[in-house]
């Protein structure tokens, strides 16, 4: 097991647990996932019992509930958990690595926009422990890909307003910018030794935004709630001007990228290859 614990985004607990500072905005502004993705994960799982890791405000959980699943959530942020409970979701507050399953088992363990906050090897091992035979671990991200001209303009705003921020090179890195997340998740599944070979699924979709709708979403980006208020206001003004310059609205391209693997029993490692 060569993955080193203590390396990667999961170390940044202050950022990981900052999203609940405005849970209502997060739930309102963050994009949903394509129904095709939800249905494929559900169909590839042996049953309807789902554990949602890093469930946040309950966006993903509600989508899986609507697809006929029984969903339980785990989240490290008590504010997010409280918000998700308002819609009837059962949520326990803990990091996934420290969460106590108390003998409960699930047909699928999912994580939407949250697996990079989990130590990848420990997370994969914990998922395998709570999955039923043939259960599925599916972790996924919505990757935003703005129109090229707008992407350049938005990056210029970040460079001007927050030149020393990691976002100065652009807050929307596209699929290439997420490649480390994908590779790390797959490596954790392999090194756990309890999953079949990970697969990557891709679902392309798009969503139109007005200027105000996009500005509502910006404060929900990673770390943005921790910017000084004046700096965030300046950032929003610059982004608004960039959107105005392209007509006041735009269509954001998205790719929902899924890294997934099937839980295997020890005997599955011998004899005939196991397919998904």
Instruction: Give pLDDT tens digits for 193-216.
Output: 999 999 999 999 999 999 999 999
Confidence of residue 2 (pLDDT cuts 50, 70, 90): very low
Q: Quick check: is 1 in a domain?
A: no
Structural domain contains residue 154:
no
Query: pLDDT tens across 83-119, in order?
Result: 999 999 999 999 999 999 999 999 999 999 999 999 9
Please indicate, yes or no, if residue 89 is contained in any of the structural domains. yes
With 80 as the cut, is the pLDDT of residue 82 above it? Answer: yes
The answer to whether residue 103 is domain-embedded is yes
Please indicate, yes or no, if residue 90 is contained in any of the structural domains.
yes
- Specify if 29 maps to a domain: yes
Is the pLDDT score of 80 beyond 70? yes
Of 62-71, 121-130, 259-268, least confident by mean pLDDT is 259-268
Q: Round to whole Å and give the CA distance between 19 and 78.
A: 11
Q: Can you give the residue range of the structural domain that contains 126?
A: 9-145+172-206+251-266
pLDDT in tens, 211-242: 999 999 999 987 787 787 789 999 999 999 99
3 assigned to some structural domain: no
- pLDDT given for residue 19 in this prediction: 57
pLDDT band at 148 (very low <50, low <70, confident <90, very high): confident
Q: What is the DSSP string of 212-241?
A: HHHHHHGGGSTTGGGS-HHHHHHHHHHHHH
What pLDDT is stored for residue 17 in this prediction?
52
Residue 140 has pLDDT above 70, yes or no: yes
What pLDDT was estimated at residue 13? 43
Question: Is the Cβ–Cβ distance between 47 and 71 less than 8 Å?
Answer: no
Give yes or no for residue 3 having a pLDDT over 80.
Answer: no
More confident residue, 254 or 227: 254
Q: What is the pLDDT of residue 273?
A: 37
Identify the CATH number of the domain in which residue 67 sits: 3.40.50.150
Buried/exposed 209-242: b ≥16 CB within 10 Å, e otherwise: bebeebbebbbbbbebbebeeeebebbbebbbeb
In this predicted model, which residue has the larger pLDDT, 175 or 173? 175
pLDDT computed for residue 169 by the predictor: 67
pLDDT of residue 160: 92
Sign of CA dihedral 212, 78, 91, 137: positive
Residue whose entry in the numeric block shows the structure tokens 């035979």: 133
The predicted-structure confidence for 4-58, as pLDDT tens digits, reads as follows: 344 455 444 455 455 556 899 999 999 999 999 999 999 999 999 999 999 999 9
- Lowest model confidence (mean pLDDT) among 5-19, 114-128, 179-193, 253-267: 5-19
Question: For the chain, what percentages of helix, strand and coil (3-state, to nearest 5) are there?
Answer: 45, 25, 30
Contact indicator for 238, 185 with CB cutoff of 8 Å: no
State the alpha helices, DSSP H only, in the chain. Answer: 13-16, 23-29, 35-43, 59-66, 78-85, 120-130, 148-161, 174-177, 179-192, 211-217, 229-244
* Residue 178 falls inside a structural domain: yes
* Total number of domains constituting the chain: 1
pLDDT of 22 reads: 84
Please say whether the beta carbons of 135 and 75 come within 8 A: no
């Amino acid at each position: 097991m060569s993955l080193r614990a203590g390396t990667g985004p999961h170390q940044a607990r202050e950022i990981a647990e900052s999203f609940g500072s405005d849970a209502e905005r997060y739930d309102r502004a963050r994009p949903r996932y394509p129904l095709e993705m939800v249905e494929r994960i559900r169909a590839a799982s042996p049953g309807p019992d789902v554990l949602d890791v890093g469930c946040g405000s309950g966006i993903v959980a509600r989508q899986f509930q609507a697809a006929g699943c029984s969903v339980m959530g785990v989240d490290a942020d008590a504010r997010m958990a409280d918000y998700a409970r308002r819609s009837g979701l059962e949520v326990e507050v803990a990091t996934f690595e420290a969460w106590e399953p108390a003998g409960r088992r699930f047909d699928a363990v999912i994580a939407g926009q949250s697996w990079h906050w989990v130590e990848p090897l420990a997370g994969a091992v914990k998922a395998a422990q709570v999955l039923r035979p043939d259960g599925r671990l599916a972790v996924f991200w919505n990757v935003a890909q703005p129109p090229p001209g707008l992407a350049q303009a938005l990056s210029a705003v970040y460079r001007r307003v927050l030149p020393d921020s990691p976002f100065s090179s652009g807050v929307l890195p596209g699929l290439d910018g997420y490649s480390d997340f994908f590779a790390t998740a797959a490596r954790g599944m392999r090194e756990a030794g309890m999953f079949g070979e990970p697969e990557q699924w891709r679902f392309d979709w798009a969503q139109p935004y007005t200027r105000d709708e996009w500005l509502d979403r910006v404060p929900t980006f990673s770390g943005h709630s921790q910017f000084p208020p004046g700096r965030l206001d300046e950032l929003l003004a610059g982004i608004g001007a960039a959107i105005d310059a392209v007509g006041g609205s735009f269509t954001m391209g998205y790719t929902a990228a899924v890294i997934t693997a099937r839980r295997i029993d020890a005997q599955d490692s011998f004899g005939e290859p196991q397919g998904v």
